Amino acid sequence: MRGRTPMVVRRALSEPLLLIAALGSVLLATTTLVALMVYAVSVTEDGVRRAMETAPLATRVVTVTSSVTSADFTRIDGLVREQVAARLGDVPAQVTSSALSDSYAMPGQEKAERPELTRFATYEGLDRHSTLLSGTWPADAGAAPGTTVQASVSEAAARAMSLSAGDRLRVVGRLDGRPVTVRITGVFRPGDPYGDSGIGDELLLAGVQNGDYTTYGPLVVSAGTFLDRFTTSVSASWHAVPDLSGLPRERLRPFAGSVAAIEPGVRSSCPDCTVTSLLPDMLTQLDRAALVARSTMLVPVLQLLLLAAYALTLTARLLSDHRQMEVALLRSRGGGSVRLAVLAGGEALLVALPCAVAAPFLAPVLLRLTSPTDVRLSPPSAPAMFAVSAAVALACAVLLALPAIRSARRTYVEERGARGRGARQGILQRAGADLVLLVLAGLAIWQLRHYGAPVTSTAGGGLGIDPLIVAGPALALLCGGMLGLRLLTPASALVERLTARGTGLASALGSRQVSRRPTRYSGPTLLLTMAVAIGVLSLATGSTWRASQDDQARHLAGADLRIAVPPGGDARQAAYETLPGVTAVAGVHRSVASMGGGDVTLLGADAAKLGTIMLLRPDLSDTPLATLTSRLQQKGAALPVVVTSGLAQLKTITIGSQVVPVHVAGTIAAMPGTAAGTPAVLADLSALRAAKVPRDPTEWWISISGHDTSRAVTALGADPAETVTDLGALARRLSDDPLAAGLQGALTLGFAAALAFALLGFLVNAAVSARERRAEFALLRALGVTFRQMIALLAVEQSFVIALSLAGGVLLAGVVAAVVVPAIVLTGQATAVTPPVLLDIPWPTVTVLILTIAVSLMVVVGGLARSLHRRGPGGVLRTGEDR
C-alpha cells in the first residue's frame, strides 16, 4: 500500500511538525485575510446604510422654491414632480408642497407703527404627519372674500397667541388692507417631516419669530383655501425626500449627480425657481467616507499580509534547510531542477489547497468571535470569497516552494561545503534593502499625514486608494524590524564578551551560540518584533480612537447636558437644578452674530458658573478655563469676549443691528458646544445685557456628578419644547458609527492573528533548531551537563531573542504610532477630528501583553528542554542525525 502513495504525499508526511506548521500558517493567513475582506465590505455597507438612515431629513431633502400665483401654481407643481421623478429614476421619492402668505396684522395691531404679524400657510400632508391635540383639521372655505376661513395652529403658536380650538380672530392684510375672519378649528403638534428634525420652517416649529417684526403662527389652512384666497405672488416650496434605504454604496456618486441634475431641469422651464439641497454633498462625502474607511482598514490587512508572508517564508526556509542534504543527494543522483521544483510545488499545493477551500467557511466564524463592533455582516458573493481565498492560498504555496526550488540548484558537494558557514547578515541587509524601505516608508507616512487619509485624486478626477500610503505603516514596521536586526550581531557579541568573564557554563555557551550564528536567530527575532509591534500599535490605535470619541462628544456637547428651550424659559432653571446628580446649571444664549464680515456663533453664558460646567480640553487654550471665565466678568468700555482662532484681531461684533465694541480676553482653538470649524464668540450673559444687548437664555448647560447623565435624562422625560444633547448618548452614537469604528475590528482581528503567527513561528523555529542540535545536546549531557544547565542554556539563547524582540517591538510601535495613529483616526465622515487627536498608549495593557508573551514563549522553551532531556544521549549519538 505504501508503494502506491504518491511521492509528494510521502515526502510531506515525513516532516509532520513542519507540515503542521505550514498548514497552520497558510490556514491562518487565508482565513484571516478572507475575514478581513468580509469585514471591510460589511463595515462600509453597514456604515453607508446607517448613515443614510440616521441622516437628518433636512440633509436628505431637495427643496425647490418659487414665487407663485394661483394661475401658475399647478404648472410649476407638475414641473417639479416630473423632474424629480425623471432624475431620480428607480429611487422613490416623497414630494410635498408648502406655501406661506404675505403678512397680516394681528387683532388690534392694524395701525401700530411696528405691528405684531401673522401669516397663513398650507403644508401638504401635514394632517398625516402631525398629532391633532384638539379640534379638527380645517376644511375648504370657498373663494368668497367675506367667508370665514378655517385654520389650525401648532401647539407652540397656540401657546404664544393664547388660542384654542373654537376661537375666532380678525386679521388685516398688510398689503391690500382686507380683513380676514379666522376660526381656529384645531391645535396640532407637528411631526416628521415637519418636526424639529425635518423640513418645517422656523415659524411652524417655534410659533413665534422675532426679527424686525414679531410674527406669530402660521395659521394653517387647506390647500384649496390657500389657492383661492392667499396666492397673490407668494412663496411656495416643494420638498422631495428620496428613499435611500435601498441605495448601494457604489451608486452614491452617480445618484448625487442625478440629484444635482434636478436644478437645471427645473430652471429650464422655471427660471425664477431656486433649487437647494445638501444631499449631493452628503452622498459624495459619504462615498468618500466609505472609501477612506475601506482604505484605512487595508492598513492592518497589509501589516498582517506582510507578517504572514514572512512567517511562511521562515517556515519554508526551515523546511528547506532541514532537507538541504536530502535535496543535494537527489540532485547528485540525477534528480533534475525541474523535477525537484515540481515536487516542491506539489508539496506546497498539498498544504495550500485545503486551506483555500476551508477559509471561506471559517472566516465568518472568526469574525463573530473577534469583531468588537455591532456590524451586520454582509459578505460578498461566494465566488468572490473563494477567489480571494484561492489567491491568498496560491501566494502562500509560492512562498512555501521558493526556498526549496532555490536550494535545488546545489549539488551534494556544494551543500557540504556551504553547510556550517553562516553569514553575519542576511542578503537583504547586505544589499541595503532596509534603508530603501526606510525611505519608502518615510515618504508614504509623509503623504498619509499630508493628505489626511490613504486616498488621493486619480487621473480621472475621482478618488482612489493610494497603495504606497496604505502600505506606509506596514513598510515602517518591516524596515524598523530590519534595522533592528543590524543590532543583533553587535548586541550578541557584547553579551558574549560579558558572559565570557563569568563562570556560568549556560550563559557562556548560550551567548556564544547566538554570536556565532546570528542569522539563525534573525528570522524569529524579526517575526516576533513585527508581531509585538503590530499588537502594541493595535492597542495604541484602539485606545487613541476611544479617547478621541470621548473628546469629540465632550466638545460637541459642551456640557454633560445641554437643553435647548424656547425663548423665555427662565422658569425652567429651578426644575433643572433638582434633576438627579446635578451640580451646576447655567443659562446660555445662542445666536448668530457678525464679526469681521462673516457669521459667528455667539454664546452668552453665566461666566460665574461656566468654569465648572463647560467641557474644554485643556490643550485647546493656553489659558486655563477658570482664568478665561474670570476675565469675561471684568467690566470695561468694551465687551470682554473669548474667541476662536482667527477672530483675535477683531474689535467689534454686530449683534442683530447693534455694533458692540469688544475686547478679546482670550482665544481657544475650538469652542465647546459648536460644530467643528465653527467660528465662535463667548461672552458673559450679564455683560451682554449691560451692553444693552438683551438676550434671554435659549439653552441650559448642566453639569452632572461623575458625568453620568442617565438618571437626569430619565427624569427629564419627553418634552417637545426641549431639545436635549446628552453627553453619554452622543458618545455612544459616535462610538457605534461603523465607518468610524470599523478600523477597531480590523485591528482586533489583525492583532490576534499577528500573535498567533508569532507564537507559531517561534515554536516551530525553536523546535526545529533544537531537533537539529540533538547531537550537540546529547554530547553535552554525556560530558556531565545537568538538566538545569540545559534549560539555562536554551533559556539564555531564546531569552536573548525574546528580550530583543519585545523591546524592539514596543519601541518600534511607539515610533510608528506617534506618526501614523493621529493621521488614521478620523470621523465617520472621513474628516479631521475636532479637537485634534492625542496619542494614547495604554502602558498598563501593553505591560500585561508583553509579560504574557514572554511567559508563553518561556513555557515553550521549557517544554523543548524537557523533550530533549527525555531522550538519552546514547540513542541520539548513534542515529547520526547531525550529518
- pLDDT of 170 reads 92
Confidence bin at 883 (pLDDT 50/70/90): very low
Say how far apart CA 519 and CA 516 lie, in whole Å: 9
The model carries a pTM of 0.78
Q: How far is CA 713 from the centre of its chain?
A: 27
- pLDDT of 65 reads 92
Contact 560, 683 (CB under 8 A): no
Confidence bin at 298 (pLDDT 50/70/90): confident
Q: Which residue has the cell 506582510?
A: 306
Confidence bin at 514 (pLDDT 50/70/90): low
Burial 770-798 (b: 16+ CB within 10 A, else e): beebbbebbebbeeebeeebbbbbbbbbb
Confidence bin at 1 (pLDDT 50/70/90): very low
- pLDDT of 312 reads 82
- Choose between 501 and 845: higher pLDDT: 845
What's the longest Cα–Cα distance across the chain?
123
Confidence bin at 881 (pLDDT 50/70/90): very low
Confidence bin at 306 (pLDDT 50/70/90): confident
Ranked by mean pLDDT, which of 316-325, 509-518, 532-541, 754-763 comes out on top? 532-541
**Sheet strands (E) in 14-148:** 62-68, 93-105, 117-123, 130-135
53: pLDDT strictly greater than 60: yes
Per residue in 645-673, pLDDT (tens digit) is 888 888 888 887 788 899 999 999 999 99
Going by C-beta distance under 8 Å and a sequence separation of 6 or more, which residues neighbour residue 437?
A: 475, 478, 479, 482
Compute the CA torsion angle 12, 18, 21, 25 (nearest 10 deg). -70
Cell numbers that stand for 530 in this block? 513585527
Say how far apart CA 189 and CA 719 lie, in whole Å: 12
Q: How far is CA 697 from the centre of its chain?
A: 35
Domain boundaries defined on the chain? 97-243, 507-555+733-883, 561-708
CA nearest 59: which of 258, 206, 270, 244? 244
Work out the average pLDDT over 195-215.
74
SS (H, E, C) 501-554: CCCCHHHHHHHHHHHHCHHHHHHHHHHHHHHHHHHHHHHHHHHHHHHHHHHHHH
SS (H, E, C) 672-721: CCCCCCCCEEEEEHHHHHHCCCCCCCCEEEEEEHHHCCHHHHHHHCCCCC
DSSP one-letter code for 106: P
Cell numbers that stand for 381 in this block? 458573493
Give the whole-number percent of the chain exceeding pLDDT 70: 79
- pLDDT of 326 reads 65
505: pLDDT strictly greater than 70: no
Work out the average pLDDT over 234-250.
87
SS3 state at 596:
coil
Contact 826, 832 (CB under 8 A): yes
CA nearest 310: which of 746, 751, 758, 755? 758
- pLDDT of 205 reads 79
690: pLDDT strictly greater than 70: yes
Range with the poorest average pLDDT among 119-128, 302-311, 409-418, 637-646:
409-418
- pLDDT of 871 reads 55
Contact 723, 610 (CB under 8 A): no
Say how far apart CA 27 and CA 315 lie, in whole Å: 14
DSSP 18-35: HHHHHHHHHHHHHHHHHH
414: pLDDT strictly greater than 60: no
Work out the average pLDDT over 467-490.
78
CA nearest 405: which of 338, 350, 322, 352? 338
Work out the average pLDDT over 397-415.
67
Confidence bin at 64 (pLDDT 50/70/90): very high
Strand bridging mode 149-154 / 179-190 = parallel
511: pLDDT strictly greater than 80: no
- Choose between 277 and 719: higher pLDDT: 277
Work out the average pLDDT over 460-473.
70
Say how far apart CA 616 and CA 624 lie, in whole Å: 9
- pLDDT of 499 reads 66
- pLDDT of 11 reads 64
| Helix and strand element counts for the chain (H, E) | 31, 22
Confidence bin at 774 (pLDDT 50/70/90): low
Helical pair 337-370 and 738-772, crossing angle rounded to 10 deg: 130
Going by C-beta distance under 8 Å and a sequence separation of 6 or more, which residues neighbour residue 503?
A: none
Work out the average pLDDT over 738-758.
79
734: pLDDT strictly greater than 70: yes
- pLDDT of 561 reads 92
Work out the average pLDDT over 415-428.
49
Which residues share a beta bridge with 744? none
Contact 180, 219 (CB under 8 A): no
- pLDDT of 882 reads 43
Ranked by mean pLDDT, which of 439-448, 618-627, 855-864 comes out on top? 618-627
Contact 341, 402 (CB under 8 A): no
For the chain, state the CA radius of gyration: 37
Ranked by mean pLDDT, which of 788-797, 843-852, 865-874 comes out on top? 843-852
Per residue in 93-126, pLDDT (tens digit) is 989 899 999 999 999 888 888 899 999 999 988 8
What are residue 343's phi and psi, to 5 degrees? -65, -45
Range with the poorest average pLDDT among 2-6, 209-213, 292-296, 486-490:
2-6
